[in-house]
Chains A and B, each alone.
Chain A
Amino acid sequence: MKYLDEYRDPKTTAELLAQIRRTVTKPWTIMEICGGQTHSFLRHGLDAMLPAPIELVHGPGCPVCVTPLEQIDRAAAIAARPEVIFTSFGDMLRVPGSEQDLFAVRAKGGDVRVVYSPLDALAIAGANPDKQVVFFAIGFETTAPPNAMAVLQARERGLKNFSMLVSHVRVPPAIEAILSAPSNRVQAFLAAGHVCTVMGYWEYEPLAAKFRTPIVVTGFEPVDLLRGLLAAVRQLESGRPEVENAYARLVSREGNRPAQDAIGRAFLECDRAWRGIGVIPASGWKLRDALAEFDAEKRFDVGRIAPKESPLCIAGEVLQGVKKPPECPAFGKQCTPQCPLGAPMVSAEGACAAYFRYRT
């Protein structure tokens, strides 16, 4: 298949691995920011093929994992209301809240539907004028543009029965938080190629300079991942911390201007709590005041939410790259993909799920 096979080519993969092996002279700890990259490493068995001095740690770039528990509980409370059709990307349905996940809400009679695009939620709102349709707008810079388009279209069409529960997050403040933490071990980052397709990579330049840390824009296929790693190792070995683009077939420094423009028209930067990590300043997006009528938090009064996290789960340390999933005492025991205690065990992008699926 074009655009896929050439990036999974065994010969190119072997050549890149050999180049990395020749380049590396001492141990380096490198974080892949995005959960999609974590899964790709493990799914292709690539992590085990890397030379031993390179340690990969897995970043917080899993939208399902970092959505705060409070928002999951709020989603469940809104979805349980009889007048509501609650729409969400599929992954979110199995994320454990304090008491229940959205599947459990559905089993108890809530109308919870999986959509593949926020525009599907708009269509549902159009077709069900007597219902309140709520879309769970979560994710990084990747899902923000379509979610922005959905709410802007809702305003244009004068839809009165559509709202969004917004919990967007941004990558650069998370990188800054990880590098600022006293326990940080990360010496270089593979930045998420799809996030940079939207946002470009100019935002990362001050971070690389301030923390003297290489940040390499990296794709998701084996060849892409190895190109990103090779660039990171070369920088580390030569003491040259910069932002480098190893995904140039899709990413430009400026990124996708119309997409950024849509985000700007719909959302405003805000502080955001990351599940398991805590509040990171300016790390989120919320709806602009001009769009307040589409804010599900304002439209539905669900009372006080008192989130309760599982005491066993170490998701926060896993998401910050401090610990690996198998170091968690609950990993594979109390916590499995069938019965997850923490969000990283749920998602197709969660680090714990990746280890459980491909390693145990």
Chain B
Amino acid sequence: MSNPPNFESFSCPTPLHPGERIVLGHGSGGRLSRDLLERVILPALGDTAPRSLDDSAVVELAAGRAAFTTDSHVVRPLEFPGGDIGRLAVCGSVNDLAMVGAEPIALSLGCILEEGFPLETLSRILSSARDAAHEAGVFFAAGDTKVVERGKADGLFLNTSGVGRLPPGVRISGAGAKPGDVVILSGTIGDHGIAVLSAREGLGFETDLKSDLAPLNGLVAAMLAAGDVHVLRDPTRGGLATTLVEIASQSGVGIDLEEGTIPLHGPVRAACEMLGFDPLYVANEGKLAACVAESDAEKILAAMRAHPYGAEAAIIGRVREDPRHRVRLRTAIGGKRILDMLPGEMLPRIC
């Protein structure tokens, strides 16, 4: 048997000079564009790069249903504790596919670059996208690069679309929750939002907290093998509360949550208390919420806990009948309140 490919030792044949930056010509479609592709993009993507440079990718799909999704990624800073925009772009689309139970196959990668963006940073970010693609078992079937003038973009924007294969019989949708279902959360909430916030300048607190950014298709496969899953959703922007409100509304049910059972890391809790944020509304990038059949809940929970991205999974609530489709939270001190979607942007409080 031959050795597995070793990407750690991969190096570009014509290394980048430090200080080299994107110029408008890199988006011209001419020689400079070709140069960018061959010297930076393709080497960084390594074996996950498009296999042909034709106008369209041709992807083999078995007979049956396919899932298809797209997502654009803008984040500041581009690199943050626990990840970067490259890994984010891959995980975003992989997770969107996984949340309908699809097995991700291939992604497209669109880059919008701002004039002056350092090539070294681009290479680093695309290498990180490659590592995430390896982890998720996908490749980049197609790609595109555009350059805009300085000041017309925030360094780098990425768009990924993804296509995945739906196994026969798998029917997962936000409308699938049924009264009696058990609500499971795959781990702690708020890590991504607070990690990104703390990496921005001027926040005045330091933490070694990392984003939870991760591809969840492996975890989902383990769950589907363990039992009857009705709903999967990754609580990204808007947080867990917004996700559950959406599920309740789509499924026409109510949801009861126990505040005390929702996993939360100490530093996230401390940061939220300080800034006046509710962790239920803070973004996650490597977590999922599921509504599962009551009879299979323990089996599914055990399968999740056996997976590295579900080690802290917990049962956090129940689906119930409610003509008003409300999500109710029983607070740690035994009070009750209603959860609503996040209205607009979350703003830190004054005092």
Which residues of chain A have a CB within 8 Å of any CB of chain B? 1, 4, 8-10, 13-14, 36, 42-46, 48-49, 63-64, 89-94, 114-117, 120, 123, 138-140, 142-143, 194, 222, 336-338, 347-349, 356-360
Query: What's the nearest-Cβ distance from chain B to residue A91, in Å?
Result: 5
| Count of A-B contacts judged by CB separation below 8 Å | 102
Asked if residues B347 and A8 are in contact (CB atoms below 8 Å), the reply is no
Which residues on A sit within 8 Å (CB–CB) of B270? 1
Asked if residues A360 and B350 are in contact (CB atoms below 8 Å), the reply is no
Docked CA distance A218–B266 (Å): 26
Chain B residues bordering chain A, tally (CB within 8 A): 29
Asked if residues A357 and B269 are in contact (CB atoms below 8 Å), the reply is no
Which residues on B sit within 8 Å (CB–CB) of A117? 202, 204
Asked if residues A138 and B347 are in contact (CB atoms below 8 Å), the reply is no
B 173-210 to A, binary, CB cutoff 8 A, 1 in contact else 0: 00000000000000000000000000000111000000
Of A91, A138, A142, A143, the residue contacting B348 (CB under 8 A) is A91
- Name which residue of chain A comes closest to B330, CB basis: A45
B19 within 8 A of A: no
Query: What's the nearest-Cβ distance from chain B to residue A89, in Å?
Result: 4
Docked CA distance A116–B122 (Å): 31
B336 within 8 A of A: yes
Query: What's the nearest-Cβ distance from chain A to residue B54, in Å?
Result: 41
Asked if residues B344 and A116 are in contact (CB atoms below 8 Å), the reply is no
- A-facing residues in B317-342 (Cβ within 8 Å): 329-338, 340
Docked CA distance A97–B88 (Å): 37
Docked CA distance A48–B329 (Å): 14
Which residues on B sit within 8 Å (CB–CB) of A116? 202-204, 275, 348
Which residues on A sit within 8 Å (CB–CB) of B337? 42-45, 358-359
Asked if residues A10 and B276 are in contact (CB atoms below 8 Å), the reply is no
Which residues on A sit within 8 Å (CB–CB) of B338? 357-360
Asked if residues B273 and A90 are in contact (CB atoms below 8 Å), the reply is no
Q: Which 9 A-B pairs have the closest CB atoms?
A: A45-B335, A337-B343, A90-B347, A142-B351, A358-B337, A348-B349, A13-B333, A90-B348, A89-B350
- Name which residue of chain A comes closest to B349, CB basis: A348
Asked if residues A45 and B331 are in contact (CB atoms below 8 Å), the reply is yes
- Name which residue of chain B comes closest to A192, CB basis: B351
Query: What's the nearest-Cβ distance from chain B to residue A191, in Å?
Result: 15
Asked if residues A114 and B335 are in contact (CB atoms below 8 Å), the reply is no
Query: What's the nearest-Cβ distance from chain B to residue A28, in Å?
Result: 20
Query: What's the nearest-Cβ distance from chain A to residue B343, in Å?
Result: 3
Asked if residues B349 and A91 are in contact (CB atoms below 8 Å), the reply is yes
Which residues on B sit within 8 Å (CB–CB) of A194? 351
Asked if residues A123 and B202 are in contact (CB atoms below 8 Å), the reply is yes
Docked CA distance A1–B264 (Å): 11
Of A43, A64, A359, the residue contacting B350 (CB under 8 A) is A64
Of A48, A139, A347, the residue contacting B336 (CB under 8 A) is A48
Of B266, B333, B336, B344, the residue contacting A338 (CB under 8 A) is B344
B 23-58 to A, binary, CB cutoff 8 A, 1 in contact else 0: 000000000000000000000000000000000000
Query: What's the nearest-Cβ distance from chain A to residue B160, in Å?
Result: 27
Docked CA distance A194–B276 (Å): 14
Which residues on B sit within 8 Å (CB–CB) of A8? 332-333
